[in-house]
Amino acid sequence: MSAVELDRVSKGFGQIAVLNAVNLSILAGSTTVIVGASGSGKTTLLRLISGFEMPDSGTISLSGERVAGSGKNVPAHRRGIGLVSQEGSLFPHLSVEENIAFGMGDLPRRNRQRAVEELLDMVSLERSYRTRRPDELSGGQQQRVALARALARKPSVMLLDEPFSALDTGLRAATRDAISATLRQQSITTVLVTHDQSEALSFGDQLAVLRKGRLVQVGSPRELYFAPREVSTAKFLGDAIVLPATVGAGTASCAFGIVVVAPTAVRGAAFVMFRPEHLVVKKSDSGGSAVVELVEFGGAEVNITVRLDGLHSGRGAVVKIRQNNDLNVARGDRVVVSTRQPGVVVSPDQDNENDQGSENEPELATG
């Protein structure tokens, strides 16, 4: 059963259309990540679900009950959702206990204290923090208190609006893991909004890519990473090498030569995408298909920029490939570049003509 159902939801502010006919179904107890660049409409989508904005058209249902659209609007405080924002939004004038108990209603003091302590346990915070003020907590601790506060009402859906983005890298991972574990343990349907690609891939069961107010692809993180449909999705979810190609049956002709591609119905001019970890560079003494232009040492890995001759396809390109640092090549060396996995045929972005490129412009091969 869907815990959250969005049916052709559109929203604009003045002349600016922010969301355009968004359809999204989120299973009860699952975790969905909505990922997109700044201004793509992620936060608006979350605010529509939470009830802080009204859709211009379309409907929103929570646990099968329509809460917005078609003349209905259940206010935010009656939707039974939990919300944790980027800033945490802890009330600075209240202690941790008072913050967590804010939405609990009138409880006897002892019961309230016990409930707060249980929630602090749940989010892995020491009980002694109960009396502290928000400004006496670190950013990660504040976010955990915000989660505890939201959990206090036993929400059916938890909405997380970039809750980790204001934290330092180390703290971010630890807080993310703690919050993720708590939510899974409680089997709470969770929607996380983020622009962080690694967070998007690791946090959820379902990943939805939002671009310019349009949901361009929804699926498992693995599916979206390895088989993106559009160029932008491929690039957004990780390092990608996207080359113009002519696609045939099971193969494509591109700057790497003739390469195997994953099954696709596309034929003719298109783009083929490779993840850098799927490419292999080997030094060649007998004249390779590419010349090393730059070698950048990056610790465990090395980034090698090579110029592909593209003799077979007539399409040259300059690409940057990531390899283990045991490869010993230098600028000017001739190398052979091969692929470990079939390429993935991706379409130009439907909403951006500039991304389409053409066969006559090999330099548009980007990653």
Partner 1 sequence: MSTSRIAGTVDATAAASPNRARRGDVRSRAPKRLMAAAVIISALSSVPLIYVAVTAIVTGWPTLSALIFRNRVGELLVNTAGLVIITVPLTAVVGLAAALLVERTTLPGARVFALLLAAPLAIPAFVHSYGWVTVIPSLHGLGSGVLIGTLAYFPLVYLPCAAALRRLDPALEEAASGLGLRPTAMFLRVIFPQLRLPLLGGSLLIALHLLAEYGAFALIRFDTFTTAIIDQYRSTFNGPAANALASVLVFCCLFVLVTESGARGRARFARVGAGASRPVIRRRLRRSTPAAYGYLVVLVLLSTGVPLITVVRWLTAGGARVWGDGQIVASLAQTLGYGLTGAAITTVLALPVALLAVRYPGRLARILESVGYITSSLPGIVTALALVTVSIRYLQPLYQSSILVAVAYALMFLPRALVSLSAGLAQVPLGLEEAARSLGIHPTVAFIRVTLRFIAPTTLAGGALVFLGVINELTATLLLAPSGTRTLAIQFWSRVNEIDYAGAAPYAMLMIVLSLPVTYLLFSRSRLVETR
Q: Which residues bind partner 1 (CB under 8 A)?
A: 13, 37-39, 43, 50-54, 75-78, 80-83, 85-87, 89-91, 93, 102-103, 146, 149-150, 152-153, 162, 165, 195-197, 235-236, 238-242, 276, 298, 303, 305, 307, 317-322, 362-367
Identity of the residue, 130 or 315, whose beta carbon is nearer to partner 1 in the bound complex:
315
Tell me the two tokens of residue 320. Answer: 């940057």
Minimum CB–partner distance for residue 279 and partner 1 (Å): 9
Minimum CB–partner distance for residue 242 and partner 1 (Å): 8
Minimum CB–partner distance for residue 285 and partner 1 (Å): 25
Identity of the residue, 239 or 351, whose beta carbon is nearer to partner 1 in the bound complex:
239
Report d(CA 178, CA 169) in Å as an integer.
Answer: 14
Minimum CB–partner distance for residue 350 and partner 1 (Å): 18
Identity of the residue, 86 or 350, whose beta carbon is nearer to partner 1 in the bound complex:
86
In 3D, which of 46, 28, 48, 13 has the Cα closest to residue 208?
46
Minimum CB–partner distance for residue 136 and partner 1 (Å): 18
Tally Cβ neighbours within 10 Å of residue 274: 27
Identity of the residue, 248 or 277, whose beta carbon is nearer to partner 1 in the bound complex:
277
Report d(CA 34, CA 80) in Å as an integer.
Answer: 20
Sheet of 2-13: strands edge to edge? 16-27, 2-13, 57-62, 65-69, 72-73
Identity of the residue, 153 or 283, whose beta carbon is nearer to partner 1 in the bound complex:
153
Identity of the residue, 93 or 110, whose beta carbon is nearer to partner 1 in the bound complex:
93
Identity of the residue, 53 or 128, whose beta carbon is nearer to partner 1 in the bound complex:
53
Tell me the two tokens of residue 78. Answer: 């009656």
Minimum CB–partner distance for residue 21 and partner 1 (Å): 19
Identity of the residue, 170 or 263, whose beta carbon is nearer to partner 1 in the bound complex:
170
Report d(CA 262, CA 250) in Å as an integer.
Answer: 7
Minimum CB–partner distance for residue 36 and partner 1 (Å): 9
Minimum CB–partner distance for residue 101 and partner 1 (Å): 10
